[in-house]
Amino acid sequence: MAEIGVSEPEEARNRAVRSCRKCGELRDYPGRCRACIRAHNRAYYAKNKGTLLAKSRKWHEANRDRANAYARGRATINLDEHRARNRAKMARWRAKNAEAVRKKRRSYYASDPQRHCAYTLKWCRANPEKAAAQAAKRRAQRRQATPRWADLAVMTLIYAEAARLTRASGIRHDVDHIVPLISTAVCGLHVPWNLRVVTRTENQAKGNRFSPVLSFAEN
């Protein structure tokens, strides 16, 4: 039924103006609804991602000072809230893209292990309390994973072999736990047959993951 004082053709025109051109949903503004606009933008970005990223990089390179000033201005509005929001956002992204994160880290370690070691050493010197806390946590985990019957003499020889290889080759070697001491899938013991000598790059790339394919015979 037409509104009082409004003819039926005019009401139809008003309704058409207030309807989304794509899904037909009524809204209080002309054009498409917000949901359709967001869907369109996502599809356009996915289709033209390479071009848009290249254009964005080119603009940032040409307007570096302006872009940095804008980013600093937004961050200083509410620094604590900004940091918390970014941490939560990155945590969600890393959880969603865990395999991509692992591949990127492995690639980074393999591309320049010396640079990574230098960065780690610099961080430890700048954050001695955090480095000490991590080392203490690792020692506690190792103690809890070491049974009384473990052959400490044999394990000492394995660690000595890692040190010898480091001196002989000039490449840092570590003792890796084949089955990680702490992992979401499985937890191993700190015993001789769960140890192997590998380069630091291999050890850091492996992290606390365990592959059943890995043979204990490698020891």
> Nearest Cα to 188, choosing from 204, 172, 211?
211
If pLDDT is split at 50, 70 and 90, which confidence band does 28 have? low
**Local confidence band at 211 (pLDDT 50, 70, 90 cut-offs):** low
- Spatial CB neighbours of 59, under 8 Å, sequence gap ≥ 6: 67
Which tokens sit at 178?
A: 């084949």
End-to-end CA distance of the chain: give it in Å, rounded: 85
Bridge-partner residues for 195, per DSSP? Answer: 177
Check residue 27 and give its pLDDT.
Answer: 66
Nearest 5°: phi and psi at 197? Answer: -95, 125
DSSP state of 26: B
Structure tokens at 46: 């996915």
Where does the pLDDT of residue 213 fall: very low under 50, low under 70, confident under 90, or very high at 90 and above? low
**pLDDT for the residue 180:** 85
pLDDT of residue 1: 43
Q: Which pLDDT score, from 0 to 100, does residue 168 have?
A: 92
Tokens 């054009």 sit on residue: 31
What mean pLDDT comes out for the span 7-16? 53
Confidence class for position 8, pLDDT limits 50, 70, 90: low
Burial of 67 (0-12, 13-18, 19+ CB in 10 A): middle
The angle formed by the CA atoms of residues 88, 211 and 101, to the nearest 5 degrees, is: 25
Sign of torsion, CA 46 50 56 60?
positive
- Distance separating alpha carbons of residues 179 and 181, to the nearest angstrom: 7
pLDDT given for residue 197 in this prediction = 92
Is residue 194 within 8 A of residue 219, CB to CB? The reply is no
Q: How many CB atoms lie within 10 A of CB 201?
A: 21
Lowest mean pLDDT among 18-32, 78-92, 162-176, 193-207: 18-32
Q: What is the pLDDT of residue 165?
A: 92
Mean pLDDT (whole number) for 43-59? 90
Distance set, CA 48 to CA 43, 75, 78 (Å): 9, 29, 33
